Amino acid sequence: MTTKRLYYDDAFAQEFTAQVLSCEPASAAEATIPAGTVTAETPAGPQAGALWRVKLDRTAFYPTSGGQPHDTGRLGDARVVDVVDEDDEIIHFVDKPIATGSVHGIIDWERRFDHMQQHTGQHVLSAIFHSKFALPTISFHLGSDVCTIDVRGREPTQEILDAAMAAANDVVYADRAVNVKYGSAEQLAAAGVRKTVERSGTLRAIEIETLELQPCGGTHVQRTGQIGTIFVRGVSRIRQDWRVEFACGRRAERLARKDFATLRAVAQRLNCSPQEAVSAAERVVAERDAHYKSSKASIQRIAEIDARAAVQEIQIGADGLRVVAKLFGDGSPEYVQAFAREVAQAENTVALVVHTESGQIFFSQHPWAKKDMNGLLNESLKQFAGKGGGSRDSARGRLADLQRASEFLTFATRALRPS
Ligand SMILES: [Zn+2]
């Protein structure tokens, strides 16, 4: 039996009385309480999560659809944790069984009113993006913090976002009526509905005076003033479309406060006022870049000096090679890599070094040494867990087991000079 939807004609009905037509245990697959709707009143223990499916002859509970989440509330003394639309029937998922007969329903009004503000605000924003900026809305999502619409077309620049937000808030301040209209698809098309609808029979449409007429089965505020401030927060690319983030009413206030708290926290770290945060951050980043550059130059200079000393300490062997094999317990991997590179500047010299703290391996040779660093690394790593690669003159890798660095280096040194 088709459930009569009381919210179609009275979206402000917070309480209602209805007949319970059926109440059955939900299947295991259905019997999960949706995230965010669990309350302290939901029973704990082995029964937690067990739900019942309730059908009523009429309801004010809105089921999840059209981007707007379902309502929560009570039916008698049972909690309504989910509401879904099954063809023409609305199914209420409740946390305890209820008897057939008459039942009193109460909607969690704060949640529903918030949804109506966001949803009606979306109508206003979408109409403005479409009519003023040729950016039609492809989809809408009402999240727990922010709402988004995906629009299609050119990139909505900051200028467009600001102009759309200002125009949307003008509609709010003009406090225009939001009316429900019924008619056939032809009648609605004649009245100026933008979207073509393929459903037959009587359709429901929402009219925002002088702004738009759209087929919609959702719940809306009565006048645009009830939407409250519309706050457009930003945009990001999403496949071929643009995802515009926004929030209305108390959410807009909450988000603006949260965003400012973030800015204040950043300013506190930078020891400045929120107004100075951007220039202070620019200064810090510039300083960091300068320090990075100068420390890189210092590392290079130290590596050159150390490499020269290390090369002088090692005698050329009978095979004409000089091999500098070394474990580094401290210093940075950047230093160790520079050291290996600098050692290999000396004729016929090979550097085999491991940074024991990170397990990073650097093999480098002077081209006249005529060995194969990539081959040596791969051969050695076969015996020890790790990975890496490179070219004939230079290869780098990483040892998985840091405890075996010394063993690894001994193995590689022997493999380089098979006796
Ligand atoms: Zn709507």
Question: Residues 337-346: pLDDT tens digits?
Answer: 999 999 999 9
Measured in Å, residue 244 CA sits from the centre of ligand 1 at 18
Q: Which residue has the tokens 């037509």?
A: 21
- Taking the centre of ligand 1 as the mean of its atom positions, its distance from the CA of residue 217, in whole angstroms, is 6
Q: Measured in angstroms, how far is the CA atom of residue 113 from the centroid of ligand 1?
A: 13
116 Cα: distance to centroid of ligand 1 (angstroms): 9
Question: How many other CB atoms are there within 10 angstroms of residue 273's CB atom?
Answer: 11
The full set of domains in the chain, from first to last, is: 4-38+48-107 (2.40.30.130), 113-269 (3.30.980.10), 302-416 (3.10.310.40)
User: For the chain, first and last CA: distance in Å?
Assistant: 91
What b/e sequence results for 140-176 when a residue is b if at least 16 CB atoms lie within 10 Å of its CB, and e otherwise? bbbeeebbbbbbeeeebeeebbebbbebbbebbeeeb
Q: Which residues, in sequence order, are CB contacts of 398 under 8 Å at separation 6+?
A: 358, 359, 360, 361, 386, 387, 388
CB atoms within 10 A of CB 354: 28
CA gap 33, 53 in Å, rounded:
12
Closest of 105, 92, 21, 106 to residue 52, by C-alpha? 92
pTM: 0.73
**Cα separation of 134 and 153, whole Å?**
7
Residue in the block written with tokens 């004649």: 190
Mean predicted lDDT score pLDDT of the chain? 92
Q: 222 CA to middle of ligand 1, Å?
A: 12
3-state helix, strand, coil in the chain (%, to 5): 35, 30, 35
Distance 9 CA to ligand 1 centre (A): 13
**For the residues 200-222, what does the mean pLDDT come to?**
90
Question: For residues 34 and 90, which has the higher predicted lDDT (pLDDT)?
Answer: 90
pLDDT at 42: 44
Q: What backbone torsions phi and psi does residue 317 show, to the nearest 5 degrees?
A: -80, 175
Residue 227: is its pLDDT beyond 80? yes
CA nearest 291: which of 283, 392, 137?
283
Most confident of 87-91, 107-111, 180-184, 382-386: 107-111
Q: Give the distance (Å) from ligand 1 centre to CA of residue 214.
A: 8
d(CA 22, ligand 1 centre) in Å = 30
Measured in Å, residue 200 CA sits from the centre of ligand 1 at 19
CA of 256 to the centre of ligand 1 (A): 25
- Name residues whose C-beta falls within 8 Å of residue 329's C-beta, 6 or more positions apart in sequence: 356, 357
Residue 38, pLDDT above cutoff 80? no
